[in-house]
Structure 1
Amino acid sequence: MRELFTDLDIFNAIGIVGVSLYIANYTALQTGFVRGQGYVYPTVCLIAASCVLASLMQDFNLSSAVIQVTWITISIIGITRMYVLGVTSRFSDQERLFIRHMANGLPEHRARALLDNGMWLTADPGTVLTHEGEPVDHLSFVASGKAKVIVADKTIATSGAGMAIGEITYLSGEPATATVEVAEKMHLIRFEADKLRAFVQRNPDIGAVLEQNMANHLRSKLVSMSETASRAPVPASADAAAA
């Protein structure tokens, strides 16, 4: 073993570093620690290929050199593409509000891909967005305006800018737990649930971020609703019964 390490010169050491980076990077991709659509994967591939190419300076092999040059070229193209898409992506204030709440953690070009699957709509007061106990075939995000959340004909909360509607149904597949009715003119983006599910299946990096943000959003919403219910005045009859 000692003789083996003695025989390793600088070029072999660089080559081993490159191979190790290849293996670690691909393992991280397959196990979900890095995403193919981010900067990390192509950057590590670029470094790994450069190390292996440098190691060939001692014992040149044309086939191996062509492979490494190809990896370097493809990695540079990928990094450049992501940079250009990020720089050229333009978002409205309403789109940035959506990204902050529902796509936080996505590179801008991936957030744009997600937004392109939705449709911006205006809903007038009285429009019913979901019906309690009925399936919901869409997921909505409110950019402006307000809606009433109604359970058993009683308004229990309101939804305003920055709120999602239909995320419980989207995540669980269960019918709507409440009726949501527009109270003030609303501007929202709506995603067809089946189309969105198909999209995130093809783009698991976006799906993972979207579902994590929805789960965080839902947790905050439930806490807010619980606090609202705890602050609600106790009916007079209940006070009398307690007395």
Structure 2
Amino acid sequence: MLLRADTKVELIRGLPLFELCSKRDLRRIAALAQERPLEPGTELIREGEPGTEFYVVVEGQIEVRRGTRRVANLGAGSFVGEIALLSRSPRTATVVATTPLVVLAIEGKSFVELLDSIPELWLKVARALAERVDADEAAEALSPA
């Protein structure tokens, strides 16, 4: 599936992360996003490694794991990889395609430059990051030692 630029804009517009963005900003985001079809079993992100890309799931399912524990199954509209890009810390989880998958990948440096140019987007990403950190802390507190 090769997405046209306007199709990418429509996909991105539907994501909560980008809902406050103008059409112009959405076009800029879409221009940075590289479409990638992936096979089941493909590892997008490996826990502990440095982050270089941010991913948006267009089609298919992914599994998020911490160590050997599955922490989430996510589908279309989900995004992963932003924490390591923004915190410059190692990846906090491993992410694997569980079905045929199509993602939009945005290179880290380009993503951060984009955030710097769209203040509203920084706010949305910061909120999403805070929600994930809160959810992670709650999950850790509930997991057996």
**Runs in 1 of length 4+ with deviation above 3 angstroms?**
198-201, 218-232
RMSD after superposition:
2.8
Q: Tell me the TM-score normalized by structure 2.
A: 0.79
1:216 aligns with 2:127: yes
For residues 50-72 of structure 1, what are the alpha-carbon distances to aligned partners after superposition, in whole Å with 9 as ceiling and x for unaligned? xxxxxxxxxxxxxxxxxxxxxxx
Q: Structure 2 CA distance, aligned partners of 1:95 and 1:179?
A: 28
- Could you list the runs of 5+ residues in structure 2 that have no partner in the other structure? none
Task: Sort the Cα spacing of 1:160 and 1:230 in 2 relative to 1 into closer, same or farther, 3 A.
Answer: farther
Task: Sort the Cα spacing of 1:144 and 1:220 in 2 relative to 1 into closer, same or farther, 3 A.
Answer: farther
1:104 aligns with 2:25: no
Q: Structure 1 CA distance, aligned partners of 2:75 and 2:9?
A: 15
1:194 aligns with 2:105: no
Higher relative contact order (CA 8 A, sep 6+): 2
The structure carrying a bigger helix percent of its residues is: 1
State whether residues 101 and 217 of structure 1, in contact with CA within 8 Å, keep that contact through their aligned partners in structure 2.
no
1:130 aligns with 2:41: no
Task: Write the mapping of 1:157-176 to structure 2, written as runs, cut at 5 A.
Answer: 157-176=72-91
State whether residues 20 and 121 of structure 2, in contact with CA within 8 Å, keep that contact through their aligned partners in structure 1.
no
Q: Structure 2 CA distance, aligned partners of 1:200 and 1:224?
A: 23
The structure carrying a bigger strand percent of its residues is: 2
- Please state how far the C-alpha of 1:176 moved relative to its aligned partner: 0.3
- Could you list the runs of 5+ residues in structure 1 that have no partner in the other structure? 1-89, 235-243
Q: Structure 2 CA distance, aligned partners of 1:199 and 1:211?
A: 9
- Please state how far the C-alpha of 1:91 moved relative to its aligned partner: 3.1
1:177 aligns with 2:92: yes
**Which of structures 1 and 2 has the bigger CA Rg?**
1
Task: Write the mapping of 1:135-150 to structure 2, written as runs, cut at 5 A.
Answer: 135-150=50-65
Q: Tell me the TM-score normalized by structure 1.
A: 0.50
- Please state how far the C-alpha of 1:109 moved relative to its aligned partner: 1.6
Task: Sort the Cα spacing of 1:157 and 1:226 in 2 relative to 1 into closer, same or farther, 3 A.
Answer: farther
Task: Sort the Cα spacing of 1:126 and 1:120 in 2 relative to 1 into closer, same or farther, 3 A.
Answer: same
- The 3-state SS of whatever aligns with 1:218 is helix
Identity %: 23
State whether residues 156 and 229 of structure 1, in contact with CA within 8 Å, keep that contact through their aligned partners in structure 2.
no
- Please state how far the C-alpha of 1:119 moved relative to its aligned partner: 0.6
- Please state how far the C-alpha of 1:170 moved relative to its aligned partner: 1.5
State whether residues 115 and 122 of structure 2, in contact with CA within 8 Å, keep that contact through their aligned partners in structure 1.
no
